[in-house]
Amino acid sequence: MNIEIAFILSISISVLAFLVALYFYFWVKKQPSSNKEIARVGEFIKAGANTFLKKEYMLLAIFAGVAAILIFVFLPHPIWSEATASWTWKRNLAMMLSYLFGTVLSAMAGKVGITVATIANMKSAEAATKGIRPSFLAGFRGGAVMGMAVVGTSLLGVSVVYMLSGHVSSVLGFSFGASSLALFAKAGGGIFTKTADISADLVGKVEMGIPEDDPRNPAVIADNVGDNVGDVAGMGADLFDSHVASISASLVMAYALDKSDNKFTIMIFVYAALGLLCSIIGVLLARMGKKGTPTQALNLSTYITTALYAGFTALASVLFFNYEAGWRIWGAMMVGLFVGTIIGLVSDYFTNDNKKPVRYVADASKSGPAFTILSGTSYGFLSVFPPMIGIAVSALAAYKICYPITSTPVSGMFGISMAAVGMLAIVGMIISNDAYGPIVDNARGLVEMGGLGEEALEITDSLDSAGNTVKAVTKGFAIGAAGLTIIALLGAFMSEVNEAAAAAIEAGKTGIEMITGFDILNPIVFFGLLVGAALPAVFSAMLMLGVDRNAQRMVEEIHRQFKTIAGLKEGKKGVVPEYDKCIEIATVGALKELIPAGLIAIVATLLVGFVGGVQAIGGFLAGNIISGLLLALFMSNAGGLWDNAKKYIESGHNGGKGSDAHKSAVVGDTVGDPYKDTAGPSINTQVTVVSLVASMMATLFLTYSIF
């Protein structure tokens, strides 16, 4: 196979994904919707989400513009450098354009998701009056539009950039564009959604005892908007970024391995394209059986996709890569796929209300909120152990499997990156499952607000609960994949440094050495390790403080409305709260808080790099990875655990709703919300961004550092 065919394959399957997305989009759109109240509220949510997105993107456009100029001037080489065989100023231009392309595609993926989600929620709500199966399908296919669009865009983007530029540095630029936008989208959306969610719950459920999604609550629309901008758009941007990053890291190392033929590069595109193809088949087949549950339907399509992927790639190996190195890489991919599933199952154990941890926390809640927090924190810490061991073992296995391919460690690191590609191959399916969650969550709210009756509410409740169960698994999967990806990016960083070092040595520069590794006992590396490890803690603290500050503002506003709007508390007919005020607070606050948190990650990388040089950056990346994994896993799992402990009590255990145990569990859930939906998932993106900045800056750090 030659590289052109690989490109054509990737692009064709991307286009196929777009067609499927379009088909689902029109399918969802043509589902009936007649309820006026739902339409009114639905429009409100749509308008709120679009307003936020517009403001956010305008702000990010400024950021991206500045970053683009800096890239053009400095990267990969300062524009005033002398032209060489491998570099002219056109490379900078290509990198800049790739970067902008990455930001635009990432933003588009978010926009598409929001658009379809804000339609699908209405259709799913309305369909709930007819039964669970049509309601499920409307929700799922809405999510699948997002899944197909995101992965199609990612694969198309990488293929086009690499095909046109022919340079891995441009691919890194593209990946950085996607990641930096994802970082801000995740942080901003995460702050928005949790601001609204916490405030609505706190005043509505806890203080006033009115149900969730009660239309009297001024924050209820903001909460639904938040589900869209945080969980749909933010999550879409996040997985877009992981997918792009895993492919980019692989391409960087494949470039170092491929001497004349492009065999490793070809493999990457073929396997990524096959993953998308399997996801397409999986989502097309997904529907609820007559006797099945929504959880089973979601899981079954995931299993089908996974099995297909294992089979298709084995077939591809037989047909095209039927030699030792080919099979070794296939093995590394299978390690990734396998461990991803294991990690997902472990997350499930710690967050499933049939298992001990959730039950224990629900019981501890009887003794007061302090015990909810203590026991949840403890299980959260315990829960990091299995996935970290899983990531450690899979990285080691993938390395050992692929190390013999060449005599350099690069092939081992390439194995790790291919394990990440293997894990992320079925991400189209994962995103579809994941986006399904907030859509049916919103549908539930619309059913409540539209007064569609108890039966429809029960249906959407059970759809929502399936979304939460599956979410824990997909989140574990996503963190595992991100873990391997960022380890692979560490390898990509070394490849980039050595390419730069080789060029510099060839150009006759002195004092520059090839890097053979990063020794922990080198005090500069250790310095980097400590600083890198501290960063995720600071980053997540900033996000959580943002949520905290913002939620306090919104709680005040809700109190004001209940005090000053006559008849609102009593639910007098025709009295409507000022929903837009709450949306405004969430929007302004989120935009204000997201920039410093995002910038600190980038600035810290630049500081460490220019002070300590590439050795410090090596330690910095490793420290960042391990502490990032630790905190992301802890926060995601503890948050999911508290959420489900609360739901477990609400379903009638330990005194049920309104009991003391329930009040404690609500405190746990409120703490867990920004853990699992703001800070936790943003940490992955923070680590990815830092790794990409490091790789892009490799030459500059090599040349201009103080130490």
Q: At what angle do helices 356-364 and 369-383 cross, to 10 degrees?
A: 160
Q: How far is CA 594 from CA 36, 48, 220, 274, 601, in A?
A: 36, 19, 23, 36, 12
Out of 43, 455, 506, 519, name the contact with a second copy by CB under 8 A: 519
For the record, the structure tokens of 632 come out as 């992301």
Segment interacting with a second copy, rule: CB under 8 A, options 160-168, 548-556, 567-575, 576-584: 548-556
Task: Give 214 or 548: the residue with its C-beta nearer to a second copy.
Answer: 548
Q: Residue by residue, what is the 3-state secondary structure of 88-112?
A: CHHHHHHHHHHHHHHHHHHHHHHHH
Residues in the chain: 707
Answer positive or negative: Cα dihedral of 468, 477, 343, 630.
Answer: negative
Please report whether residue 530 would count as binding a second copy according to CB under 8 A. yes
Q: Least distance (Å) from a second copy to the CB of residue 284? A: 38
How many other CB atoms are there within 10 angstroms of residue 548's CB atom? 15
Out of 161, 470, 504, 533, name the contact with a second copy by CB under 8 A: 533
Segment interacting with a second copy, rule: CB under 8 A, options 47-55, 176-184, 627-635, 650-658: 627-635
How many binding residues for a second copy (CB under 8 A)? 80
Site for a second copy in 394-453 (CB under 8 A): 395-396, 399-400, 409, 412-413, 416
Spatial contact of 379 and 351, defined as CB atoms under 8 Å apart = no
Site for a second copy in 672-691 (CB under 8 A): 674
Please report whether residue 202 would count as binding a second copy according to CB under 8 A. yes
Distance linking the first and last C-alpha atoms of the chain? 46
Q: Least distance (Å) from a second copy to the CB of residue 530? A: 4
Segment interacting with a second copy, rule: CB under 8 A, options 60-68, 142-150, 341-349, 378-386: 378-386
Q: Least distance (Å) from a second copy to the CB of residue 308? A: 30
Question: How remote is the C-alpha of 464 from its chain's centroid?
Answer: 20
Please report whether residue 220 would count as binding a second copy according to CB under 8 A. no
What DSSP state is assigned to residue 216? T
Task: Give 143 or 612: the residue with its C-beta nearer to a second copy.
Answer: 612
Please report whether residue 516 would count as binding a second copy according to CB under 8 A. yes
- C-alpha 49/C-alpha 37 separation (Å) is 18
Please report whether residue 547 would count as binding a second copy according to CB under 8 A. yes
Q: How far is CA 86 from CA 68, 77, 161, 500, in A?
A: 21, 11, 18, 11
Please report whether residue 371 would count as binding a second copy according to CB under 8 A. yes
Site for a second copy in 642-671 (CB under 8 A): 666-667, 670-671
C-alpha neighbours within 13 Å on the C-beta side of residue 148: 27
Segment interacting with a second copy, rule: CB under 8 A, options 227-235, 454-462, 617-625, 680-688: 617-625
- C-alpha 693/C-alpha 486 separation (Å) is 12
Please report whether residue 374 would count as binding a second copy according to CB under 8 A. yes
Site for a second copy in 26-85 (CB under 8 A): none
Spatial contact of 244 and 150, defined as CB atoms under 8 Å apart = no
Segment interacting with a second copy, rule: CB under 8 A, options 16-24, 165-173, 293-301, 520-528: 520-528
The letter for the amino acid at 58 is M
Task: Give 60 or 373: the residue with its C-beta nearer to a second copy.
Answer: 373
Please report whether residue 198 would count as binding a second copy according to CB under 8 A. yes
Please report whether residue 1 would count as binding a second copy according to CB under 8 A. no
Q: Least distance (Å) from a second copy to the CB of residue 201? A: 9
Per-residue x/- track, 549-588, a second copy (CB under 8 A): --xx--x---------------------------------
Spatial contact of 166 and 95, defined as CB atoms under 8 Å apart = no
Task: Give 206 or 502: the residue with its C-beta nearer to a second copy.
Answer: 206
Site for a second copy in 486-515 (CB under 8 A): 487, 490-491, 494
H-only helix segments in 565-650: 579-650
Segment interacting with a second copy, rule: CB under 8 A, options 40-48, 81-89, 226-234, 387-395: 387-395
Exposure b/e, 408-420, CB count within 10 A at least 16 = b: eebbbbbbbbbbb
Please report whether residue 342 would count as binding a second copy according to CB under 8 A. no
